Amino acid sequence: MKVHIIISAIFLSMFGSVLAFNLSHPQTCRGMNSRLLATNVLEGKEIEKDFTPINNMLLVRKADALEKTEGGLILTGKNKIVKSEGSVAAAGSGRVNTETGFQSPMPVSIGDSVAFGKFSGQELTYNGVKHTLIRDDDVLVKFPAGKEKTLENAEVIWDNVLVKIQKKEIKDSGGILIAATTKKMTVSSIGEVMKVGPGRYAFNGVLMEMDVTPGDMVKFRDFSAQEVEIDGEEYAVVRMSDLLAKF
């Protein structure tokens, strides 16, 4: 019985000390509590909640920079090749049409690997890791989570089309082909359709069908394509609205 009384007295004494400290140092206690609640760090600042994109925004954890060239040359500092790709860490719920209220579903899922435009989005550091905040429209190609980054697994979103571009030989002003040792290749605006997106939603929620299929040859507007590399091969991503003709 005496032991119980002694323990109770000790507990009450400790509780009283903590309460007295809280009352005499309220700002210090609030700071301690906030540090205990903070679970994430955004740009060096502790935040209590998860960093969650809204609308059609995506938070992409960037892929590590390449530290070696294909020939084995080691790159350091600013010479490292930074890839415009990564895995989706978080995503918004989708874009909402302000006139009809229709919400387009997000075309990617958490864990998917995505490639995006070199100058797309805004970079930030979240929990000590480099991320990029981009729109769903910035995604050029996606690869479902857990699948290899091959042409077979590659998918394009919305009204995008993946095209294998034809390259043409450069001739001199007299029309003579340049010798093979000095010959250069230039990219044309003609190519073969390899992958086709599902289409884009109209304002009323109707999915607009695509007018091309894999295997079609297409002509598209100059400078409208964005290049992407898959399996060591170069491809172009073109929007349906930039396609001029098929054959």
How confident is the model over 132-168, as pLDDT tens digits? 999 999 999 999 999 999 999 999 999 999 999 987 6
Q: How far apart are CA 223 and CA 225, in angstroms?
A: 6
pLDDT in the model for residue 167: 76
- Greater model confidence, 64 or 38: 64
Q: How many CB atoms within 10 Å of residue 56?
A: 21
CA–chain centroid gap for 160, Å, is: 16
Quote the tokens at residue 166: 């034809």
130: pLDDT strictly greater than 80:
yes
**Beta bridge partner(s), residue 116:** 139
* 116: Cα within 13 Å, side-chain hemisphere: 29
Helix-helix angle 26-37:2-24, to 10 degrees: 100
Residues with Cβ < 8 Å from 165, sequence gap 6 or more?
187, 188, 189, 190, 191, 225, 234, 235, 236
What's the rounded Cα separation, in Å, for the pair 231 and 147?
13
The pTM assigned to this predicted structure is: 0.74
Other CB atoms within a 10 A radius of the CB of residue 167 amount to 13
Residue 111 burial by Cβ neighbours in a 10 Å radius (0-12, 13-18, 19+): exposed
The mean pLDDT of 195-217, rounded to a whole number, is 96
Look at residue 116 and tell me whether its pLDDT is greater than 90.
yes
Q: How many residues does the chain have?
A: 247
Position with higher pLDDT, 173 vs 19:
173
> Stretch 193-220: mean pLDDT, rounded?
96
Q: Give me the mean pLDDT over the 81-86 stretch.
A: 75
User: What spatial distance separates the first Cα and last Cα of the chain, rounded to whole Å?
Assistant: 96
